[in-house]
Chains A and B, each alone.
Chain A
Amino acid sequence: MSLLEINGLTRRFGGLIAVNDFNIDLGEHELVALIGPNGAGKTTVFNLISGFYQPSEGSIKLKGKDTKGLRPHQVTALGVARTFQGIRLWGEMHVLDNIRIAQHYRLGYSLLDCFLRTKNYVHREKAIDAIAWELLEAMDLKDVAYELPRNLPYGVQRRVEIARAMSVKPSLLLLDEPAAGLNSSDVEGLIKLVRWIYDNFPVTIWMIEHQMKVVMSLCTRIKVIDFGTTIADGSPDEIQKNHAVIKAYLGDDTI
């Protein structure tokens, strides 16, 4: 069974068609890119998957379950985590708390447990803590656990945001322009990090990215959209030679 199955997904904003008849089928453990010129509707696709927008037409199925009508936190609980184009960490809480809170959907205790500090509460909080520290350790963020995100360099903030997404234990990780705003050494670090996540977790990673270096060195499959419509879908080699893609990015040479 495929992990994510999108059929005929269309989203209109008034008269504007942001996404038009979008189809994709992602399996378990893939590394896929979604590219396209600015304003092509890439982020809208991610927003539709994560439940921010409801589709005008078409369906999104996660592990066979239709996500229609679900609120974003419910979609996340099904195993979809994402990062944002601009970093959206909780700036006034230290890194450790940022990672703890992202486990909200599997807290496993009630408000009453929290008031009474029952065994269940203590046990669950310990487990949440353990997962958070494990992730911080693995992603080389242990030293900044008690720092506020806003005091960290941009590249590290990016890593924290990815760590926060991973603490959801996602089966689908959506990265929205993870390399935006990073310098070249940070980009190298990011490529390594994504590769490492892909190798170590049973997760399908789907990224929107403009930097071709990142896309070409990581992804095995690329989908290209322009004005909401799919114009190409294939391996990096195929995409590089595709005329429609070249035309979308560079324009037509006939006048």
Chain B
Amino acid sequence: MQKHTVTIGVFALIALIAVLAQFNVLDAYYVSVLMFMGVNIILATSLNLVNGYMGEFSCGHGGFMCVGAYVSSLCTVLMFSKNAILGAPLLPPSMTFIGFPLALLVGSFAAAIAGLVVAIPSFKTRGDYLAIITLAANYIVISAINNMEIIGGPRGFMGMSATEVGMKSVLDIPWVLIFTMLGTLGSVWLLRRFVSSTLGKGVSAISQDEIAAEIMSVDTNRMKLIAFMLSSGLAGLAGGLYAHILGYVNPQSFDIMRSTEIMVMVYLGGMGSLSGAALAAVLFTVLMEALRFLDVWKWVVIPLLLILLMQFRPEGLMGNKELADLFPKLRKFYSFK
């Protein structure tokens, strides 16, 4: 039974939220907060694979998110919206159900490929030097898009809302919310399966002693490739979802500020803890909304909280423990695989 409690529980929760949103019990504001929460969970857990489990310091996660956002947006806009490049949409609105997930997938793949920019130098470089490379990767992506006039350059890119309109024209339920929740679930599930396998634990072996890992037959280059590409690919998925939630993207929203935000979530939750990163993403999203009344002062309060956290609990909320490690009794009720 406990084998399936999590699965049943999560799907029930997703269904419940969808139903509540459908009948306007949750208004549009709460729905959008929930969706950003999902996006943040994907971003934090995926960055945690590199910064937490592998012990590298990647500070360019926003760049990969950007690649995913633009590539998947480009796909859906070409397929389902009137656009400056092809004119009329290529496909009828009924195809959005296949087109949208496919576009998200293409965006993720593109982001994973972009992850190579960091993965390949990581074979020879680590620590601070690799951190600078990730920073550079972030800048490259933003600058490249800023200079591509065909997709709007710094003015941004829009037309993604046609996809949701298309889906709603067939069946009027909150599709983007559902896809966001499923994407979040899928990402956490992929990461969980990876880090709990002997294959995935090779990543932690690299962080704890790379030379020992290599000598004990762990193909460190392959592990780094997997870790960086999986991490950036999932960031791409988050980007794709983000773009379709807002219906509009511009390069500035994926700059170093975004990357920093994601890093804050990871360090808040605890490095090397998936549940920690997810929890921190939820907390961070709520905090950002709750402190909205402070206006720009929230950018004083939140960093201050971070300083206090680093002073008094430097390992983050959860350290490198999972929920079930901290509360072993939970194991009776569920096993998450």
Which residues of A does B touch, CB under 8 Å?
Answer: 50, 52, 71-73, 76-77, 81-82, 84, 88-93, 97, 100-105, 107, 109, 111, 114-115, 117, 121, 125, 128, 164-165, 168
Using Cβ atoms and an 8 Å threshold, which residues of chain B touch A109? 199
Q: Which B residues between 72 and 124 are near A, CB-CB below 8 angstroms?
A: none
Tell me the complex Cα distance, A93–B201, Å. Answer: 9
Q: Is B172 an interface residue (CB 8 A)?
A: no
**Contacts A93-B205, A114-B199 known; A103 to B217 CB distance under 8 Å?**
yes
Using Cβ atoms and an 8 Å threshold, which residues of chain B touch A168? 216-217
Tell me the complex Cα distance, A111–B227, Å. Answer: 11
Contact A114 B215 (CB under 8 A): no
Using Cβ atoms and an 8 Å threshold, which residues of chain B touch A101? 198, 201-202, 205, 213, 216, 218
Closest CB-CB distance, B253 to chain A, in whole Å? 30
**Contacts A102-B216, A104-B198 known; A93 to B208 CB distance under 8 Å?**
yes
Closest CB-CB distance, A73 to chain B, in whole Å? 5
Using Cβ atoms and an 8 Å threshold, which residues of chain A touch B205? 90, 93, 101
Q: Is B294 an interface residue (CB 8 A)?
A: no
Closest CB-CB distance, A45 to chain B, in whole Å? 15
**Contacts A84-B212, A104-B217, A105-B217 known; A92 to B198 CB distance under 8 Å?**
no
Binds A, one of B5-13, B175-183, B189-197, B273-281: B189-197
Contact A125 B216 (CB under 8 A): no
Q: Is B252 an interface residue (CB 8 A)?
A: no
Q: Which residue of B lies closest to A50 (CB)?
A: B215
Closest CB-CB distance, B271 to chain A, in whole Å? 11
Size class of the contact patch on chain B? 20 to 34
Contact B208 A73 (CB under 8 A): no
For B193, B197, B215, B226, the residue with the greatest tally of chain A CB atoms inside 10 Å of its CB is: B215
**7 other A-B residue contacts (CB within 8 Å) besides A101-B198, A104-B217, A105-B217:** A52-B215, A77-B217, A93-B208, A101-B202, A111-B226, A114-B200, A168-B217
Closest CB-CB distance, B122 to chain A, in whole Å? 15
Tell me the complex Cα distance, A121–B200, Å. Answer: 13
Q: Is B149 an interface residue (CB 8 A)?
A: no
Using Cβ atoms and an 8 Å threshold, which residues of chain A touch B193? 114-115, 117
Closest CB-CB distance, B203 to chain A, in whole Å? 10
Using Cβ atoms and an 8 Å threshold, which residues of chain B touch A103? 198, 217
Q: Which residue of B lies closest to A164 (CB)?
A: B216
Q: Is B295 an interface residue (CB 8 A)?
A: no
**Contacts A84-B212, A117-B337 known; A73 to B220 CB distance under 8 Å?**
yes
Using Cβ atoms and an 8 Å threshold, which residues of chain A touch B320? 92
Closest CB-CB distance, A102 to chain B, in whole Å? 4
Tell me the complex Cα distance, A90–B201, Å. Answer: 11
Using Cβ atoms and an 8 Å threshold, which residues of chain B touch A114? 193-194, 197, 199-200
Q: Is B214 an interface residue (CB 8 A)?
A: yes
Which residues of B does A touch, CB under 8 Å?
Answer: 190, 193-194, 197-202, 204-205, 208-209, 211-221, 226, 320, 337
**Contacts A90-B209, A115-B193 known; A72 to B214 CB distance under 8 Å?**
yes
Using Cβ atoms and an 8 Å threshold, which residues of chain B touch A88? 209, 211-212
**Contacts A92-B208, A97-B201 known; A73 to B194 CB distance under 8 Å?**
no
Contact A107 B212 (CB under 8 A): no
Contact A100 B226 (CB under 8 A): no
Contact B190 A115 (CB under 8 A): yes
Using Cβ atoms and an 8 Å threshold, which residues of chain A touch B197? 114, 121, 125
Using Cβ atoms and an 8 Å threshold, which residues of chain B touch A107? 198-199
6 contacts between A and B (CB under 8 A): A73-B219, A84-B215, A100-B198, A105-B217, A117-B337, A168-B217
Using Cβ atoms and an 8 Å threshold, which residues of chain B touch A73? 214-220
**Contacts A73-B220, A117-B337 known; A100 to B201 CB distance under 8 Å?**
yes
Q: Which residue of B lies closest to A88 (CB)?
A: B212
Using Cβ atoms and an 8 Å threshold, which residues of chain A touch B198? 100-101, 103-104, 107, 125, 128
**Contacts A93-B208, A115-B194 known; A104 to B202 CB distance under 8 Å?**
yes
Q: Which residue of A lies closest to B206 (CB)?
A: A90
Tell me the complex Cα distance, A248–B10, Å. Answer: 71
Using Cβ atoms and an 8 Å threshold, which residues of chain B touch A100? 198, 201
Task: Name the one of A76, A91, A97, A128 contacting B215, with C-beta atoms under 8 angstroms.
Answer: A76
Q: Which residue of A lies closest to B272 (CB)?
A: A92
Tell me the complex Cα distance, A89–B221, Å. Answer: 20
Tell me the complex Cα distance, A93–B205, Å. Answer: 8
Closest CB-CB distance, A46 to chain B, in whole Å? 10
Task: Name the one of B200, B204, B214 contacting A71, with C-beta atoms under 8 angstroms.
Answer: B214
Tell me the complex Cα distance, A73–B224, Å. Answer: 14
Closest CB-CB distance, B223 to chain A, in whole Å? 9
Closest CB-CB distance, A106 to chain B, in whole Å? 8
